[in-house]
Amino acid sequence: MNTNALFKILFAFFLLYLALPAIGGAQSPMSSLFWVCWLAFFVLVIGANVGNLLNIKTNSSVEKVKKRTNSTIGKTPSSGI
């Protein structure tokens, strides 16, 4: 799984390498907006794959609290008789 994330990171940097000459030639505001969006997507791809490489997961304690509260909502307290 780590090799897949590493391959994606390397491929994203390869695409950035190919796109760098064209980024400098952006003349119109629309082309500049396109390159800003493209670079933002590049950062998202790199960030997601670095998170995958570092094995960063969602906050499991928050999920446990949600499960605990959802499981106790429908229950009534016992009278103990």
On the question of pLDDT at 10 being above 80, the answer is: yes
pLDDT-derived band of residue 6, with 50, 70 and 90 as boundaries? very high
Tell me whether residue 49 is in a domain.
yes
Tell me whether residue 13 is in a domain.
yes
- DSSP-assigned letters across all residues of 18-77: HHHHHHTT--SHHHHHHHHHHHHHHHHHHHHHHHHHTT----HHHHHHHHHHHHHSS---
On the question of pLDDT at 71 being above 80, the answer is: no
Supply the range of the domain harboring residue 51: 2-56
Tell me whether residue 69 is in a domain.
no
Tell me whether residue 72 is in a domain.
no
Tell me whether residue 80 is in a domain.
no
Residues 12, 45 contacting (CB under 8 angstroms): yes
Residues 43, 80 contacting (CB under 8 angstroms): no
Q: Report how many domains make up the chain.
A: 1
Tell me whether residue 46 is in a domain.
yes
Tell me the C-alpha distance between 12 and 45, whole Å.
8
Residue 7 pLDDT: 95
Residue 67 pLDDT: 72
On the question of pLDDT at 81 being above 70, the answer is: no
pLDDT tens-digit series, residues 25-62: 888 999 899 999 999 999 999 999 999 999 877 666 66
